[in-house]
Amino acid sequence: MLYLVGFLLATVCLLVLGVNVWVLIDHFLTIDVPPSIPHPVKFRILHFCFHLTTTWGHILEKMNICSMPQFFCFLQDSLSSKENHGVFVKDLRFGTIPVRLFRPKAASSKPRRGILFFHGGGAMIGSLDSHHNLCTFLARETDSVLVSVGYRKLPYYHHPSLYHDCINASIHFLKSLKAYGIDPSRVVICGESIGGAAAVVVTQTLLSRTDIPKIRAQVLIYPILQAFYFQSPSHLMHKNIPFLTKDFMITCICKYLAIDFSWKDAMLTGACISPSAWKKYEKWLSPDNIPKRFRTTYQPPESPAPFNEAAYLETKHAMNIDISPLVADDKIIAQLPEAFLVSLHWDIIRDDVLLYKKRLEDQGVPVTWHHVEDGFHGCILLFDKKLFSFPCSLNIVNAVVSYIKDL
C-alpha cells in the first residue's frame, strides 16, 4: 500500500513538474516582450503565472473538475486583497444583478458625481473582487459614488447576458441617482477591455431614452470594440504580446459568442467577412484610417482570404452593434457624449481604439485621447500591486482620475 501511495505521489509530482516546464518552454517560444516595457523579467514572470493558471484550468476542465474560468477566477479572487480606505463599500442587487457600491466617507455639501463601472476579462475572467481596489481608488480620488456591475459571464452564460445585465443595471442606477446622492448631470460610464465595449453599447442603447438622465461622458480603457476584423496593424503585429494574445482573444470571442472553434482561422484571416459587409465597413475599419506612425512596419496581407459563406453564416452575429459597436451608424455615433479613450501601444486591440477615436471626431464628438507607449493589455489592474506594478499602470489610473475630476 505504501508503495502504491508513493508511486501515485511521484506520478503527480512528475505531472505537475512536466506541465510547469512545458508552460515555461511555451512561454519563451511563443511570447514577445515589447522593447519599451521597463521591467521585462517581471513581465515574463507575470505572464508565466497567467499562462500556468489558464493551462491548469484547462486540465481541470478536461477532468470535469471545474471549468477554466472558474479556476482562474477562484485564484484571482483569492489572491486579491480588498482595500476600502476612505470609502464605504456595500454589496447590493439591482434585481438579480449583483453590484458593488463605493461611496466616499468624506462628507459632501452637494450631490456627487456618479460612475458606472464595468470590469474587463473577456467575459471569461474578472469579477467584482478582482477590480475592487481599482473601483475604491476611482471613487475616493474623484469623490464619486461608483457602482461596479457583476454581470453574468462564461462558462455558464453567453452573449447577450453580459450586455443585458449591464444595460439593466445602468437603467436601475440612473433611475435611483437621488437615493445615492448623485448629481444627474454628472454621471460617467466607465469600462475596461470588454467592460469598455459594454460601456459603449450601453451608451448607444440608452441614447433614445427620455425617462433617465443622459450619460455625461464615456471613459473607455482599452476597450474591445469589434469582433470580426483581425487584419489591422495591431492585430497582426502584436498577436503574441501578453496578456491578450491572438489565441486567448479568439478563444474568448468564440466561447462567448458560441462560435465553433473550427471557424477560428476563417475569422482571423477575414474569410468570414462577406464582400457586401466589407463594402459597408471598409470606410471605418480600413488601416488607412490609422495614423501612419502606428503602421510604419505594417505589412498588409498579400491577398484577402477567399470568402467562406459557411463561415460567414456561422459568425455574422459578431458584426451586430451590440457586439461590435465600432460599426454603429454615423447617426448614432454623432449623438454620443464626449469620450476619454485610453489606448496602449503594445495591445492587440490598440487599433480598435484609434478607429473609434476617428469615428467620434468625424462626427463632432469631443475626444480626449490618452495613449500609453509602454502599455500592455490588462496593465491597469497592476496599479496597486507594488512589486508587480508598472509605470503604465499608475499612468492610466491617474489620467482617468484627472479626466473625471475635471468634468
Q: Are 163 and 85 in a shared domain?
A: yes
Tell me the C-alpha distance between 279 and 282, whole Å. Answer: 6
How far is Cα 244 from Cα 250, in angstroms, rounded to an integer? 10
pLDDT for 9 equals: 77
Q: Which residue, of 72, 96, 113, is where some domain finishes?
A: 72
DSSP string, 242-283: SSS-HHHHHHHHHHHTT--GGGHHHHHHTTTS-HHHHHHHHH
Same structural domain, 94 and 31:
no
User: Is residue 179 assigned to a domain?
Assistant: yes
How confident is the model over 71-83, as a mean pLDDT? 88
Residue 327 in any domain: the answer is: yes
What would the mean pLDDT of 58-77 be, rounded to a whole number?
A: 93
Q: Is residue 146 part of a domain?
A: yes
Question: Residue 243 falls within a domain, yes or no?
Answer: no
**Residue 42 sits in the same domain as residue 148:** no
Position 27 in a domain: yes
At a CB cut-off of 8 Å and minimum separation 6, what does 397 contact? 134, 137, 138, 380, 383
Contact 166, 118 (CB under 8 A): yes
Q: Does residue 352 belong to any structural domain of this protein? A: yes
Q: What is the pLDDT of residue 117?
A: 98
- DSSP readout, 164-199? HHHHHHHHHHHTSGGGGTEEEEEEEEEEETHHHHHH
pLDDT per residue as tens digits for the range 161-201: 999 999 999 999 999 999 999 999 999 999 999 999 999 99
> What pLDDT score does 1 carry?
66
Verify that 339 and 391 share a domain, yes or no.
Answer: yes
Is 80 exceeded by the pLDDT of residue 4? no
- Do both 339 and 399 map to the same domain? yes
Strand order in the sheet with 97-104: 87-94, 97-104, 144-149, 112-118, 182-192, 217-221, 338-344, 367-372
What's residue 8's pLDDT? 73
What is the model's pLDDT at position 303?
62
Q: Say how far apart CA 305 and CA 366 lie, in whole Å.
A: 37
| Residues 51 and 166 occupy one common structural domain | no
Is the pLDDT at 78 greater than 90? The verdict is: no
DSSP code at position 388: G
CA distance 153 to 163: 10
What CA–CA distance (Å, rounded) separates 172 from 214?
13
pTM greater than 0.85 (yes/no): yes
Bridge partners, 374 (sequence order):
none
**Catalytic site residues?**
193, 347, 377
Summarize the chain as % helix, strand, coil (round to 5): 50, 15, 35
Nearest to 351 by CA among 381, 326, 374: 326
Note the pLDDT of residue 7.
63
Which residues pair with residue 101 across a beta bridge?
A: 90, 147
Give the span between the Cα atoms of 67 and 71, in whole angstroms.
Answer: 6
CB-based contacts of 350: which residues, under 8 Å, 6+ apart? 222, 234, 238, 294, 343, 344
Boundaries of domain holding 154: 80-226+322-405
pLDDT band at residue 276 using 50, 70 and 90 as cut-offs: very high
Q: Is residue 235 part of a domain?
A: no
Task: Indicate if 89 and 126 belong to the same structural domain.
Answer: yes
Query: Cell 480626449 sits at which residue?
Result: 368
Domain termination residue (choose one: 15, 42, 72): 72
Residues 118 and 221 in one domain: yes
Q: Is the pLDDT of residue 217 over 90?
A: yes
Provide the pLDDT confidence category of residue 335 given band limits of 50, 70 and 90. Answer: very high
DSSP codes, 279-322: HHHHHHH-GGGS-GGGSTT----SSPPPP-HHHHHHHGGGGSTT
Residue 253: strand pairing partners = none
Where a domain ends, among 24, 45, 72?
A: 72
In this predicted structure, what is the pLDDT of residue 297?
Answer: 82
Q: Is residue 43 part of a domain?
A: yes
Pairing of strands 182-192, 144-149: unpaired
pLDDT in tens, 243-254: 999 999 999 999
Contacts of 48 by beta carbon, 8 Å cutoff, 6+ apart? 23, 24, 27
Residues 42 and 114 in one domain: no
Same domain for 48 and 13? yes
What letter does residue 326 receive in the DSSP assignment? G
First CA to last CA distance, the chain: 71
Residue 51 and residue 141 share a domain = no
Q: Which candidate, 370, 367, 368, places its Cα nearest to that of 359?
A: 367
Res 128: pLDDT: 96
Domain count across the chain: 2
- Model confidence band, residue 305 (pLDDT cutoffs 50, 70, 90): confident
Cell reading at 141: 480620488
Q: Are residues 17 and 125 in the same domain?
A: no
CATH code assigned at 380: 3.40.50.1820
- At residue 304 the predicted structure's pLDDT band, cuts being 50, 70 and 90, is low
Question: What confidence tier does 379 reach under pLDDT thresholds 50, 70, 90?
Answer: very high
Look over the chain and give the mean of its residue pLDDT values, rounded to a whole number: 94
Range with the lowest mean pLDDT among 127-131, 238-242, 384-388?
384-388
Indicate whether 2 pLDDT > 90: no
